[in-house]
Structure 1
């Protein structure tokens, strides 16, 4: 008797290099299912900006399946209830999925696999979201890594990952009736106000959009990546983080496409490895989260548990709205709000500003990014924020406090990035663009800038904030030493 297999799409919204789908297609018919499981995710549920992306990515996947004679079944609720319901409705014998590594996903999937086995339903999971699984990379002592550089060397020592799988030649889709939600009824898109109005000019969600973006990046911009990736106005970054997060393209696809371009001489080795290193950083954050699930909400370094974070709603709101009075910080926060993305160098600056200049808990910044980034990824988000705060694995030293003025002058020397996102300062001379408070009244008037009116005064003085942050760190160290 022919098998019926449910392929549970999660963050693998593609047909190419989809190990679970390829396995399902080998025998019998396939039911393609996606579940919006906010209940199990809880506070880690998909944020608002990512929901915009998810809507369009699911629409693209629906169309890709339709072109092959299939359909995507949509259900909303707890996966542990919905999957047995679909099994009962369809008589499916088996379910397959590709693994995820968030703590809540792991807990849910283990329980689900156990429950399905008790029901006599076969359940299998596959590797799809990383270059190497967390347990495949370990120290010489057989332990998990907590420092990136040796982790990355260990990944490289294992050589290239397996080649990507093609789209299955044939998928025999289940033809029986299965009820499905309407994507439009899920309300993933904003309405009034439509704060995502500019997203469509920036992004093309879906596997085709991911493939086009990767091809365009590897056709030339990647060769400026190593040196240009720190300059937000240069367009030297790949913008592949959201497609990777939603699984519209796999890490193996990105790896092999880059390596092929390097071997063909189209991509310089230094540039190619610099880019692939970021895939390694992505894996490293998953590795850390897999072995340290408590770090979703707790410090990796528990000596930071007594750190004197401040509650300052006014300062937090100024930061979220891009009204801090520091042009590079404000440019980054406004880029985030309007496009759902922020340049990586600027992310470090704005994160440092929140936790060190304002002494606001990194968890508040992580929550804001999770809601406003289209590429919001729990492992990357938590890892990045804890790295910046100094409380994470392989973290930046706490005394490394980014000077937002110096960062702007170094990495946006002509002011193109700031002028794009903070246009009210556009007429200021370059000399004052990162520090408008140093301009004379005459210069400000000629540029149409009125500090405190058309553009805010700094909400904190950099030198004073730096002293306060270092004092807080010393206080934390002293408490640790006396306990």
Structure 2
């Protein structure tokens, strides 16, 4: 068997501007691309999970692109720790290339893979690809990580230059792909999934950047970029997005892209925060955790129109406007006193653009338990948020058609009462810590 390298695709499903692919193609051996539908992840998902359909369609497109180069994508379904020994029997693998991932499961998987491949005398080479800056690249003067966004962003922005947004020019090296006949692709059905009928957003955001700063907070306007899904699975390069933000002088959008990296940095340095409160004293809060009220929140029947509109948008489309994400998160944790983990888990199941670092970070921000300078007594008033960001009820009427009629639900809790209750409960928990 002739020696080869393997490029292991994960959250970087594109040929253009892909760090690991670039380095693999410039390596010593022909490159066989690989994707594993990981049972360790898939077994926890509902059978109609739309993200699996999106990945599957992207894999089909990748196979076509690679076949045009005389190569193909090797696609496996199972547990990586069982699949890799099988691959090594099938191919004479000398090197494995892949891009970094920062989530707890991915870190454990890659540590195990590094150990296994090294024991087989196979080089395991990993690269930064899904962020501009990672791990220890942005630190305070005392070499500790930032835990507040603004100073993190100042340094992130100051360090940013052309070098960090330069694309990896893979195209001229594609001739170094392993020339191979068409390889099989397991069907969605064989993996136990159904095809989703949700619409996936296209990558077309440049026209929105000019007015992004002034329009992004108004959910009735289609003024946000919808690229979360594409950044999550790497169908869009973060270098391209940041470069486009710089060229458009869209500083607000640039800071949104940096928020994503801030939360990834937090998850890297404080992996416990994926499961526990970043500020540990918040684990002492006595949540009410009413299942009936949680169901009303999930279904969009709280009697608070902006909250209900957001939840219905999420349930029907797999996406929710970012301003509304903050409102519904604050409402669940502050008005209903329901543990942020419940909301985080629901979003993790429903959001097409679910990203563990950003989702956990956003929910802890809403609950007050996260790495944020704001005090716990920030409680969003849904009515004031509506007056400010949906004054004509356009967004609300789109998603809550019975709004303004007798059919619409009564408010599940009174705002002033809820605010006083949460302040009392939080104060008691935090004063005892």
**TM-score, structure 1 length as denominator?**
0.84
Unaligned runs of 5+ in 1: 429-448
Q: Which residue does the alignment assign to 1:68? A: 69
Cα distance in 2 for residues equivalent to 1:77 and 1:348: 37
Shift of 1:458: 1.0
Q: Which residue does the alignment assign to 1:434? A: none
Shift of 1:187: 4.8
Whether the 8 Å CA contact 1:137–1:155 is kept in 2: the answer is yes
Cα distance in 1 for residues equivalent to 2:129 and 2:259: 16
Shift of 1:246: 0.5
Q: Which residue does the alignment assign to 1:377? A: 355
1:303 aligns with 2:281: yes
**TM-score, structure 2 length as denominator?**
0.94
> Alpha-carbon deviations, 1:244-278, whole Å to 9, x = none?
0110112111111232xx3xxxx3x3xx1111111
Cα distance in 1 for residues equivalent to 2:142 and 2:47: 37
Q: Which residue does the alignment assign to 2:206? A: 218
Unaligned runs of 5+ in 2: none
Q: Which residue does the alignment assign to 1:163? A: 166
Cα distance in 2 for residues equivalent to 1:244 and 1:337: 21
Cα distance in 2 for residues equivalent to 1:125 and 1:331: 42
Structure 1 pair 406–146 and aligned structure 2 pair: CA distance change class (3 A): same
Cα distance in 2 for residues equivalent to 1:312 and 1:234: 34
Whether the 8 Å CA contact 2:37–2:78 is kept in 1: the answer is yes
Shift of 1:460: 1.1
> Alpha-carbon deviations, 1:419-456, whole Å to 9, x = none?
1111122xx4xxxxxxxxxxxxxxxxxxxx21xxx221
Q: How many residues align?
A: 429
Shift of 1:55: 2.4
Q: Which residue does the alignment assign to 1:442? A: none
Which residues of 2 match residues 36-435 of structure 1 at below 5 A?
36-39=37-40, 48-160=49-161, 161-169=164-172, 170-175=174-179, 180-187=184-191, 190=194, 196-197=196-197, 199-200=198-199, 203-204=200-201, 209-210=202-203, 213=204, 217-219=205-207, 221-259=208-246, 262=247, 267=248, 269=249, 272-394=250-372, 396-425=374-403, 428=404
Whether the 8 Å CA contact 1:50–1:376 is kept in 2: the answer is no
Cα distance in 2 for residues equivalent to 1:40 and 1:420: 35
56-65 or 173-182, which deviates more: 173-182
Whether the 8 Å CA contact 1:55–1:188 is kept in 2: the answer is no
> Alpha-carbon deviations, 1:95-132, whole Å to 9, x = none?
11000000111121012112101111111001101111
Structure 1 pair 7–162 and aligned structure 2 pair: CA distance change class (3 A): same
Cα distance in 1 for residues equivalent to 2:373 and 2:45: 23
Whether the 8 Å CA contact 1:324–1:456 is kept in 2: the answer is yes
Cα distance in 2 for residues equivalent to 1:370 and 1:395: 25
Structure 1 pair 354–415 and aligned structure 2 pair: CA distance change class (3 A): same
Q: Which residue does the alignment assign to 1:432? A: none
Shift of 1:172: 3.6
Q: What is the SS of the residue equivalent to 1:100?
A: coil
Root-mean-square deviation (Å): 2.2
Shift of 1:134: 1.7
Cα distance in 1 for residues equivalent to 2:74 and 2:381: 50
Whether the 8 Å CA contact 1:55–1:189 is kept in 2: the answer is no
> Alpha-carbon deviations, 1:154-212, whole Å to 9, x = none?
11111221401123322344345796441433557546xxxx53x22xx25xxxx43xx
